[in-house]
A and B are shown apart, each in its own frame.
Chain A
Amino acid sequence: MIHLEICSGTTCYVMGGGALLLLAEELPADLAGRVLVTGSPCLELCRNQPGGRRAPFVKIDGRILSSATVESVIEALREALDED
């Protein structure tokens, strides 16, 4: 089971993280049941923006993804599953 943590700090939420929370029920068939989706307290990444990365941030099994969108998260989840 892959763990997808969606930052629910204010910055991430208004930059699109709020909408990402719907991913829990909108995962495509090949990912459904294989991903645990949780909201997370602020990951504190928006304040530092390492390397110019921007909100919203998510973590996939601890790996950070910035400027996360439904499409980029799904792609990253598939890559993570392939690696497993």
Chain B
Amino acid sequence: MKIDATVRRRRDLMSQVIRCYMHDKLFPGLTLLPLKMVPRSSSSCTTFSEREKLRSRILPILGVNPDAIREEPEEILLDIRRFLKPKRNEGPLLTISTESCDGCPDGQVVVTDSCRGCEAESCRTVCPRGAVSVVNGRSFIDQEACVSCGLCIRACRFSAIVKLEKPCRKVCPTNALSQDEQGIMHIDERKCIACGACYNSCPFGAVTPVSELRYVIDALRTDRKVTAIIAPSFIGQYPGTMGQLITALKMLGFTSVYDVAVGADMIATAEAEEWKEAEENGNLLLSSCCPAYQNFLSQRLSDLKPSVSHSPSPMVALAGHLKERDPRGDVVFIGPCIAKKDEARKTGCVDYVLTFEELGALLVASAVDVQELEESAGFDRIPSSHARGFAISGGVLKALSSLQKDGFPLDHGMRVEGFSCETVRMLKQAVTDETSFIELMACEGGCINGPGISCTSKITRRKLLADIAESDETGSAGKKRA
């Protein structure tokens, strides 16, 4: 994920909204925010429109589903407390701000300035509908006649013809996005698998998750114990060391902090045993830790659902263990994943889920400079290095392989990332061939590249691999990198 101006603006807005909430300055704080973030420019129309876009994105940051409210954003902000419900949103996980959605063109085939008006006129000759003509020495496509077959795109030797696609729709693996008459996009909650691909694809910042930050802040202000369980891909997501990050979380009010890799240690043996049984019985076992992939299987490959491991995900295993010990305490999962919010709702053992990006906004809003803090001793329990590797694609397979006896056909295990036609074909084929285990990851590269990351996955991958290698060598928990 590239941290561009869109990402920076949404993080800026998120941290400033949260700061207003924490300091009880929602009014007039929130009404002033768009004015502060978008200073008056020469075009009053642009200024007004940009401010209105920001206003529309404030509600989801405060955990409110904007689709359920009829009032205009400006009106809402005058009395926002009226819309803040004490219980967390049970509606959609992701929403699209109609004010921010540009209604990008979709499916149109157009000729770009690269057209040379060549003699070959391949685009015109291949068109089965006669939609291409040459006007003023350049190709022209009659949109009424064009059926977007793409033959002219392939025929052009200058790559001068392109098909316009809505970025959000292009990346959605389940066709959950549809447009209304104005071209504004909407997410069909029944089809959405919460993979979060659309979140970072929109260059207008129109896709916004409905955050649980406000509920976490409220929980941290109570006398209840609030435990943070943080995904192993936290490394490199914030400045400073692991010990300093733990101190930062405790400063925010978390009572204790666990690495979710501890949960991976809890389930790895049972899942390795399931793989062994599947191998012996000629069956296929699919990993269960990626909630977006579980949703995808339910929707698109339901025949494969019985093959999914019965082991809970590391998040659920660890949270369940903590809830058993202290049923009254709250458990907050912090990770790179949006689909974990869905898994938390379905399983009920995690109270709230924050992405790394949301934790980053909370740290900024709280003015916590992580790298200036004292180091805490470490996590409340130290996970194995194999378990920490779950965050990187191939890590689950590696961890389970390490638990098999010599002579086990490890080459019957494989990994699948993403939802392309090729991966679906591989999954279908695996039912009939020798494959006995598949690690499923929605995000390419694994959880380290999730939609809710705070910093680039390249840094996380490098630091995590180095840390794992070091702990393998020394038998310790490795260096305390964050």
Stretch at the interface among A8-16, A30-38, A76-84: A8-16
B:1-53 near A, CB below 8 Å: 3-5, 7-8, 11-12, 15, 39
We find that the number of chain B residues with CB closer than 8 angstroms to chain A is 29
Q: Say yes or no: A14-B363 contact (C-beta < 8 A), given A19-B3, A42-B372, A69-B4.
A: yes
In the bound complex, residues from chain A placing their C-beta under 8 Å from that of B370 are 10, 13
Output the least CB separation between B309 and chain A (Å): 34
A10 & B455 in contact (Cβ 8 Å cutoff): no
Output the least CB separation between B84 and chain A (Å): 25
Residue of B nearest to A17 (CB): B239
Q: Say yes or no: A15-B238 contact (C-beta < 8 A), given A9-B369, A10-B369.
A: no
A:26-72 near B, CB below 8 Å: 39, 41-42, 47, 52, 54-55, 67, 69
In the bound complex, residues from chain A placing their C-beta under 8 Å from that of B238 are 10, 13-14, 18
B239 & A13 in contact (Cβ 8 Å cutoff): yes
Q: Say yes or no: A18-B456 contact (C-beta < 8 A), given A10-B369, A41-B371, A42-B372.
A: yes
In the bound complex, residues from chain B placing their C-beta under 8 Å from that of A13 are 238-239, 370, 455
> In whole angstroms, what is the CA distance A69 to B5 when docked?
9
B3 & A41 in contact (Cβ 8 Å cutoff): no
Contact of B104 with A by CB under 8 A: no
A9 & B371 in contact (Cβ 8 Å cutoff): yes
> In whole angstroms, what is the CA distance A51 to B283 when docked?
64
Contact of B459 with A by CB under 8 A: yes
In the bound complex, residues from chain A placing their C-beta under 8 Å from that of B372 are 41-42
A10 & B360 in contact (Cβ 8 Å cutoff): yes
Contact of A15 among B3, B39, B237 (CB under 8 A): B3
21 A-B pairs in the complex with CB atoms less than 8 angstroms apart: A8-B239, A10-B363, A10-B368, A10-B370, A13-B455, A14-B361, A14-B455, A15-B8, A16-B8, A18-B236, A18-B237, A18-B456, A18-B459, A19-B456, A19-B459, A22-B456, A39-B239, A42-B369, A42-B372, A47-B367, A67-B5
Known: A8-B371, A67-B5. 20 other contacts (CB 8 A): A10-B360, A10-B363, A13-B370, A14-B455, A15-B11, A15-B12, A16-B3, A16-B8, A18-B236, A18-B237, A18-B454, A18-B455, A18-B456, A18-B459, A21-B459, A22-B458, A39-B239, A54-B8, A54-B12, A69-B3
